[in-house]
């Protein structure tokens, strides 16, 4: 059946949508960043499964193996994994600063705080700056 050959894309899409839901529907910043990582991992699975050849093996030259899987997606995904951890680290550093400035990392509490008088809800910012930021 034609659609059975596409099941790897279905798994990828389901994982991607789970991560996407976590990013848009959860208010906690740490949960959002976890959702982003889930999303990235699903994209990695898509690339690697696109590079696989049934009957091939790992692209390291060895005796007696004639069919190798495609090494090019592996190279791209290696770069992508490391860039993903870099993004996670910077995102978490930003979340730490938000936590110190506002006292919370829940998105709805942040919106409520921001709707109040702006200069009262920035205890972490230098005094006298207010909304006209640097």
Partner 1 sequence: MTVAVAVVKVRDLFAAAMLFAIYSLLSAGLFAVLDAGDVALTEAAVGAGISTILFLAMLALTGHEERPARGHNRLALAVVVVTGACLIYAAGDLPDFGAPGNPPHVHVAPYYIEHAYTDMGVPNMVAAVLASYRSIDTMGEAFVILTAGLGVVALLSVPPRRRRRKHKPGKAEDDS
Partner 2 sequence: MRTNGILRIIARFLIPLIMLFGLYIQFHGEYSPGGGFQAGVVFAAAWILFALIYGLDAALEVIPERAQFVLACLGVLLYCFVGLLGVVLGGRFLDFYPLLDSPHAAQQTGIVAVEFGVGVTVATCAMLFFTFFARRKREIDAAETGEDD
Contact, 69 vs 51, CB < 8 A?
Answer: yes
How far apart CA 130 and CA 122 sit, in angstroms, is: 8
Of the residues 100, 114, 117, 118, which one makes contact with partner 1 according to CB under 8 A? 100
Please select the residue that binds partner 1; options are 93, 117, 118, 129, rule is CB under 8 A.
Answer: 93
**Across the strands, what pairs with 57?**
68
| Residue 108 sits in the site that holds partner 1 (CB under 8 A) | yes
Sign of CA dihedral 15, 20, 23, 24: negative
For residues 55 and 131, which CB has a smaller minimum distance to partner 1 in the complex? Answer: 55
41 binds partner 1 (CB under 8 A): yes
Q: Which residue has the tokens 């991607």?
A: 16
Residues 44-63 that bind partner 1 (CB under 8 A): 44-45, 48-62
Query: Closest separation between CB of residue 55 and partner 1, Å?
Result: 8
Binding of partner 1 by 88 (CB under 8 A):
yes
Q: Hey, which residues does 28 pair with through a beta bridge?
A: 106
């Amino acid at each position: 059946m034609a659609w059975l050959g596409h099941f790897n894309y279905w798994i990828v899409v389901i994982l991607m949508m789970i991560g996407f839901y976590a990013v848009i529907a959860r208010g906690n910043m740490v949960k959002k960043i976890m959702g982003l990582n889930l999303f990235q991992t699903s994209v990695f699975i898509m690339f690697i499964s696109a590079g696989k050849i049934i009957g091939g093996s790992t692209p390291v030259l060895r005796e007696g193996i004639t069919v190798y899987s495609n090494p090019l997606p592996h190279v791209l995904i290696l770069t992508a994994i490391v860039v993903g951890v870099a993004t996670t680290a910077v995102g978490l550093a930003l979340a730490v600063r938000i936590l110190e400035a506002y006292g919370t990392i829940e998105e709805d509490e942040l919106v409520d705080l921001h709707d109040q008088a702006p200069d009262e809800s920035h205890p972490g910012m230098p005094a006298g700056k207010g909304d006209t930021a640097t």
